[in-house]
Amino acid sequence: MSATPTEMPADPPAEPLSTASGRLKPVLGVSAALLLTISCITPASSLFIIVPQLLVTQGSGVVIALLVGILVSIAVGACYAELGTRTPSSGGEYAMITHTIGRTFGWLTFALTAALLVVIPPIIALGTADYLSSIANLDRATTGAVVMLVATATAILDVRANAFVTSCFLALEVLAAAVVAYLGFTHAQRPVSTLVRPEALTDGALSPFTLGVVVSGFLVAMLIVNGFGTASYLAEEMINPRRDVARAVFGSILIGAAVIVVPTAAIVLGAGSLEDLGVRKFPEFVEEWAGPGVAAAVSAAIALAILNAVIVMVLQNGRVMFASGRDQAWPAPINAALTRLHPRFNTPVVATLVVALPGAVFAYFLNIEALVSITSVIIAMVYLLLAVGALAVRRRPHAGWKMPLWPLAPAVVIIAIGYALSQSAPVDLVITGGIVVAALGYEVLYLRRRRDTRFLVDAREDR
């Protein structure tokens, strides 16, 4: 019988996915998961790329700003840990939200995270040439594109091989951070009390450090340990996700925070003047303290840290796209392609290419760094949704890790991020609103009319 003009033609039923194409193998112990998660935070790239942005306004109060951002990140981490152990799926945030506050919010979460999947890796990759400039004169766009392609090829390898590769790079970046910390403390120009009685910077001049100054840098400060959510993307490949997701989340936050905050404090104490904090790059301080050779070595380690971050981001992003195909979020041919696994490495090869190759193109052809400010707003929106999910998760019992003092952590996240978003640039909020409208349009016009065959989010509650 043909469909009437008012009926939508039914899609074929969602076929059960075979074990070969529908599941990722649980092969990661807590150590491997922790290394991959820390590598995605990439503390050295946060130290050398994000912290200098904060120094421009926070001045010697940057350590206080970082600690405030880390405290709120710990609260966000508690939401990730509880939701991730309840729903150990490679879909990450969108799987968590779907199974706590519903399909519509789950799809909206996927749309917001999908916007970040393609944008953030090339933004970071473009920084490689900047830190190799003291060693070689490289074209910035070409270098960024090459880093994306190398990261893509590496991310397709077995996940345990990626854990080994990223752990080697991670060791180098931690060493670079340690060198900066040692040099800064041994060349200290001012007492430690400077860190607790700080001064801000306004247009390069010293000014009072106020609550308003802290708030102005809050969302950026939160980004320094952003990446701890990688543990939730890897949950499906963890041998014991109920236990290890929480360990990977909190372990990565604490280790990443130490690698970032300690050298930052050393820079503040060792800088020739506080005004220098807003105008000089970290390698310039290193060169002043230890000479051009050490500065070049530190810059090379930073470049490797950037590559390390891009590898893990591409790896996790491919798993999100794989999960969306497995959960039947798209028309059938797209779902079949996204769930195709590499015959040898058991990795989502097509899904990885889908999110990574456009990033290489963007790095080469577009001024994608113009989108930096909006990424913090989108990340904040995702964190806000996770906090709401963490409030709703206790509506029914679950076997995973449970945060202490619930619901304090999600309440802190909602208040802090809600206020920070109210202070965000209108253009960033408008663009984020556009993503929300487009996502809701797809959900209403396609997914909602096919509830029985599309967006069947796998909760992985058998684990």
Phi, psi of 451 (to 5 degrees): -60, -30
Q: To which residue do tokens 């060791």 refer?
A: 171
Structure token pair of residue 426: 């209108």
Helix count and strand count (H, E) for the chain = 21, 2
Domains of the chain: 25-450 (1.20.1740.10)
Q: How far is CA 157 from CA 113, 160, 345, in A?
A: 23, 8, 6
The token duo for 12 is 């074929």
Rounded distance between C-alpha atoms, residue 335 and residue 240, angstroms = 28
**pLDDT computed for residue 12 by the predictor:** 44
Average confidence (pLDDT) per 10 residues, the chain, 463 residues: 41 41 77 88 84 90 94 94 84 89 95 90 86 83 93 87 82 91 95 92 87 84 87 86 91 95 96 90 90 90 85 88 93 95 90 94 83 84 94 85 93 91 89 95 95 82 47
CA atoms within a 13 Å half-sphere pointing along the CA-CB vector of 41: 33
Could you give the count of Cα atoms lying within 13 Å of 108 in the half-sphere of its Cβ? 21
Residue that is written with structure tokens 């607790």 in the block: 196
> Tokens standing for 364?
């080469």
Given a contact cutoff of 8 angstroms between Cβ atoms, the answer to whether 82 and 401 are in contact is yes
Q: Tell me how far apart the terminal alpha carbons of the chain are, to the nearest angstrom.
A: 43
Per DSSP, the three-state class of 237 is helix
Closest CA to 169 of 50, 282, 75, 303: 303
Residue keyed to tokens 């009390």:
193
Q: Look at the alpha carbons of 310, 315, 318, 320 in this order and tell me if their dihedral is positive or negative.
A: negative
Q: How far is 143 from 137, CA to CA, in rounded Å?
A: 10
